[in-house]
Amino acid sequence: MTKHYEPPKQGWFGQIFDSLFVLALVYLSLMLPLLFKAKEAASAAAGAAAEAVKPTWESLQLSPVVQEQWEKLGYDAEKAAALINTKFDYTIDPVWLVITAVVLIGYFVFMLKVSDKEYRQVIAEKFGK
């Protein structure tokens, strides 16, 4: 039989501190991407200013039925063009792809390894050696 582990009791202050700590972490990770987004938005705005030709329904070359649905939704050519011309950029940066993959896989490997170590202690205490 392995030694029984008796955990310390946590006081009020520690309990409150720990709850707040997790919260602070969440907010931080919500805010973090904003820093990058601000940069992207600035460069996108610069690009949009370059092509400032006023669009018309004709220049958008939509079929009459499609144009009718846009109008039913309350859109004029200019507003519709803004949506039609917004596009995702799917060029893949291989460096970032590799970094992301390594972080993701590393996270799972780390978690499984540590969990396994802790799990063996649990089993040893529960069922004996």
Partner 1 sequence: MSTTTGDSKQRISMLKVLNPFHIWALGVGIVLVGEFMGWNFSVAKGGAYGSLIACWVIGLLYTCVAMIDSEVTSTVAAAGGQYTQAKHIIGPLMAFNVGLYLVMAYTMLEAADALVVGDLMKSGAEALGHAGLDTKPFVVLTIAFLAWLNYRGVFTTLTLNFVITFVAFIAILVLFLAVEPANPGAVLKHKELLTDLPYGWIGVVASLQFGMWYYLGIEGTCQAAEEVRSAGRAIPLGTMGGMMTLLVAASLTWYICAGLMPWQYLGQAVTPLYDAGTLVGSTKLQLLLFVATAFAAIASANGCINDASRAWFSLGRDRYMPVFFGAIHPKYRTPYRSIIFLVPIAVSFAFTGLLDQVITFSILSGLLGYTFMSINIVKFRKMWPLGSIHRGYIHPFHPLPAITLLILCSATYFATFLGYGTSLLSILAFYIVASIWFSVRRYKFVKRADQFTMPWPRPKGY
Binding residues (CB under 8 A) for partner 1: these are: 4-8, 10, 14-16, 18-19, 21-23, 25-34, 36-37, 62-63, 65-66, 69-70, 72-73, 75, 80, 83-84, 86, 88-90, 92, 96-97, 99-100, 103-104, 107-108, 110-112, 114-123, 125-127
Q: How far is the CB of 54 from partner 1 (least distance, A)?
A: 18
Query: Are the C-beta atoms of 128 and 8 separated by less than 8 Å?
Result: no
Report the residue number, 45 or 95, with the smaller CB distance to partner 1.
95
Q: How far is the CB of 52 from partner 1 (least distance, A)?
A: 20
C-alpha–C-alpha distance, residues 60 and 68, integer Å: 13
118: left (phi over 0), alpha (psi -120 to 50) or beta: alpha
Query: Are the C-beta atoms of 2 and 125 separated by less than 8 Å?
Result: yes
Q: How far is the CB of 12 from partner 1 (least distance, A)?
A: 8
Q: In a 3-state reduction of DSSP, which class is residue 2?
A: coil
